[in-house]
Structure 1
Amino acid sequence: MKILSWNCRGVAATPTARELRNICSNNKPSIVFLMETRARREKIEELRRRLGFDYYFTVDPRGISGGLALLWKKEVHIHIFQSSAYFIHSSVQASNDTSPWDCTFVYGDPCPQRRRLLWPQIAAVCYKEDTPWCLLGDFNDILHNHEKEGLRPQSPLVLQRFRDFVHSLELMDIDLKGCKFTWHNNPRDGFVTREKIDRVLVNWRWRALFQNATAIAYPQITSDHSPILFDHSPTNRSKNLFKYEVFWDEHEQCGEIVAQGWSKPTGYADPWQDLSKRINNSKNSIWQWQKKTFKVADKEIERLQQDLLKVQGMPHHLVDWNRVKDTKEEIDRLWRQEELFWGQRSRIKWARYGDKNSRFFHASTIQR
């Protein structure tokens, strides 16, 4: 089961919604936790429908700031125990879990004076000694000064408060792959502050149940926070089998590519060996062709995200922030290109089949 945790800084913005759809489409999380949604229940309900989730729970923002949203699918059972403007405490059980475990979705108050009261509150409300427990989200605190890069180090008193909270509850920090820092501010006079404030904390009982759990911090694109993808039971996937996609037929070169592969000499006199070889030749030809024809935008987005990940991991004085801005704009352009591509294909198929096959059309659109 995968959980996406993201301080999106306003879920209604078009680029933010586009990035969220892209992450959900590529990674298929069962649970999505959003912070600073700046959106009320009606907007979250609309978002749930668009992303294909079955249930949701929301904490409305105060004015134009704050707001929490929890979306999940029907294969996950979630029971909400308690909520506030800064956390949602729940019980979680996936279909393949032997027993439920507690999960607290956290958004640390940006104000240090109020945040110091949040940690004792979470400890009093959520802690159970014998229960597997996981906490994830934007804590707005760091454990050590090497988790911060900027002009001013964090106050030792603030550091100690968060450390005391983590140590007193016997929590451990899940190793975060990807971005070293999960938040950055806007450049000011050539200086940028970066911190690791988004994280996943678990107690040892939870860790004993899910020993292979992983967490990945993706690059910051539309928000100043990294989306965190947490997989509590990752599995090694085998290589996908070859599958012929129906939409290849709509390309004018498709028949020609299949014919070229079929006509290649096989060197076999036996009819069955000759047939098998021709099928494999056609399969290889169309597979190589479709990777170049249909996957250009996907691969380019992946490459740009990797480039952005490397740049954001560099010391701030070496970062070309104009390059970062241009890379983000290019990713957003490719996302729009993908949306137009699939939207045009859907309209073509609808014009061809119309109401005669509306159920298939609707199902295929949802699948994409």
Structure 2
Amino acid sequence: MSKGEGVFKKGKPNGKRGRNDEGGDEGYISTPKRHHGNDEPVDGLGNDPAVASLRKLLNREEVDVAVLVETKLSGEEMRRVVGRLGDFKGVSGDSIGRKAGVAIIWRSGAEVRLISSSAHHVDVEVRGLFSEDTWRLTGFYGWADNEEKDLSWQLLRDLRGLSTLPWLIIGDFNQILYDHEKKGGVPRAQGDMDKFRFTLDDCGLVDISYSGETFTWWNKRSEPNDIFERLDRGVASLDWLEKFPGLTLCHLERDRSDHRPLKLTRVTRGKMKRKKQYRFEDCWVSSDKCEGVIEEAWGGGVGEGNEEEVVAKIGACARALDEWSKKEFGDITRKLGEAKKRVAFLDSCRPSESVVTERREVSEQIDKLLGLEEIYWRQRSRVAFMKDGDRNTKFFHMKASTRKRQIE
């Protein structure tokens, strides 16, 4: 695999790029300029400075495959742009006037075969990038108007059936998944966010982990009219994530663009340090002691009255529950391991009455711990459609483990 292989989404080059500490492969993904106001032009790739800047970045960083989103160019115009980029080939979906438009370009050495394309997507098979095996890459641009967003979700569902290869989608989805992915302005409707999540679940796609600031788009306005959202992301199938476990997205600093560039790169676990997020654990309610802990903490020296006192009560409950949880539940994984070792030891013993009784008790303990483990990963995976009793913990674990730095 050649130096600097990567994937990036770009309308106009943004950000800086350097080799990672492990010497692994990197790439960029970013959105085009979409300025608001009369002081700056609205531009995709339809001007000389944008093309020159993109060409300079591609050559300097030796990027082998790039996804260009919201190009605002027809297929013929995009072919002329690719011809000015040097040693690149490309496929594209025509824009609708000066709206939308998606393209994927690649250097010699990466093998790319077109599956399908439109103004809102380009879908290809890729070989020789990150792996010698063939996998699937889709550049995606979601419909911006609220009344048309269902077209985005229908397109994703339609694309799902076109290939069974490990699948990566990167792009501007023009929608968020969770409330915390927007700051300022009118809150997104819960039903609209649910549609996005349900579509990803139906397609077997998982939000890729990321580092850096949460918000990828800013409306370029000052307070109190500023709005920030995470519109740009990568999603992938579980088999793609298992195939490329070291790849993650980094949200880089924006320049004059309203979107942050996103970099797909290899990182070690040490690079993914983040603050621990407090949660009320669903498994706590399985204990009849939980209610008593809350009642005691709520009345434990914290008065009633104004908003500050209520916040103080909540904080007291959180601290009490955290301490109680450590004693009551502890490390579930460690306890499961110890219990299974005990069962293995008991199985090697003569089956006396005491051994059989203890084994039954330990087996019941294992069942309880497995239930708690499933609740733990289900809560973190945000998967609501699995029924109680299903023990598909690997699925929950994969879903949860890819949700890095989404809530700080």
Alignment of 1:1-368 (within 5 A): 1-6=5-10, 7-9=31-33, 10-94=44-128, 97-127=131-161, 130-187=164-221, 190-231=224-265
| SS of residue paired to 2:186 | coil
Output the CA distance in 2 between the equivalents of 1:205 and 1:186: 38
Given that residues 104 and 126 in structure 1 are in contact (C-alpha distance below 8 angstroms), is that contact kept between their aligned partners in structure 2? Answer: no
CA deviation string 1:236-269 (max 9, x = no partner):
xxxxxxxxxxxxxxxxxxxxxxxxxxxxxxxxxx
| CA spacing shift, 1:169–1:12, aligned 2, 3 Å | same
Output the CA distance in 1 between the equivalents of 2:163 and 2:66: 27
Output the CA distance in 2 between the equivalents of 1:96 and 1:65: 32
Superposed displacement of residue 128, structure 1: 6.5
Given that residues 73 and 101 in structure 2 are in contact (C-alpha distance below 8 angstroms), is that contact kept between their aligned partners in structure 1? Answer: yes
Superposed displacement of residue 218, structure 1: 2.6
| SS of residue paired to 2:192 | helix
Superposed displacement of residue 189, structure 1: 6.2
CA deviation string 1:266-289 (max 9, x = no partner):
xxxxxxxxxxxxxxxxxxxxxxxx
Superposed displacement of residue 2, structure 1: 0.5
CA deviation string 1:184-232 (max 9, x = no partner):
113166421111111110111001111101222233324322222224x
User: After TM superposition, which residue ranges in structure 1, 4 or more long, deviate above 4 angstroms?
Assistant: none
Output the CA distance in 1 between the equivalents of 2:173 and 2:198: 14
Output the CA distance in 2 between the equivalents of 1:19 and 1:65: 21
Q: Which residue of 2 aligns with 1:306?
A: none
Q: Which 10-residue stretch deviates more, 146-155 or 10-19?
A: 10-19
Superposed displacement of residue 87, structure 1: 1.1
Output the CA distance in 1 between the equivalents of 2:176 and 2:130: 33
Amino acid at match of 1:158: D
Q: Which residue of 1 aligns with 2:332?
A: none
Structure 1 unaligned runs (5+)? 236-368
Q: Which 10-residue stretch deviates more, 66-75 or 24-33?
A: 24-33
Output the CA distance in 2 between the equivalents of 1:32 and 1:129: 21
CA deviation string 1:284-343 (max 9, x = no partner):
xxxxxxxxxxxxxxxxxxxxxxxxxxxxxxxxxxxxxxxxxxxxxxxxxxxxxxxxxxxx
Greater per-residue helix proportion: 1
| CA spacing shift, 1:46–1:219, aligned 2, 3 Å | farther
Output the CA distance in 2 between the equivalents of 1:142 and 1:211: 24
Q: Aligned residues: percent identity?
A: 26
Given that residues 15 and 222 in structure 1 are in contact (C-alpha distance below 8 angstroms), is that contact kept between their aligned partners in structure 2? Answer: no
Output the CA distance in 1 between the equivalents of 2:251 and 2:60: 15
Given that residues 60 and 68 in structure 1 are in contact (C-alpha distance below 8 angstroms), is that contact kept between their aligned partners in structure 2? Answer: yes
Amino acid at match of 1:84: S
> Normalising to structure 2: TM-score of the pair?
0.53
Amino acid at match of 1:63: G
CA deviation string 1:64-104 (max 9, x = no partner):
22222221112111111111111112211116623211222
Structure 2 unaligned runs (5+)? 11-30, 34-43, 269-408
Amino acid at match of 1:77: E
* Count of residues in correspondence between the two structures: 234
| SS of residue paired to 1:207 | helix
Superposed displacement of residue 26, structure 1: 4.3
Given that residues 19 and 222 in structure 1 are in contact (C-alpha distance below 8 angstroms), is that contact kept between their aligned partners in structure 2? Answer: no
| SS of residue paired to 1:122 | helix
Q: Which residue of 2 aligns with 1:355?
A: none
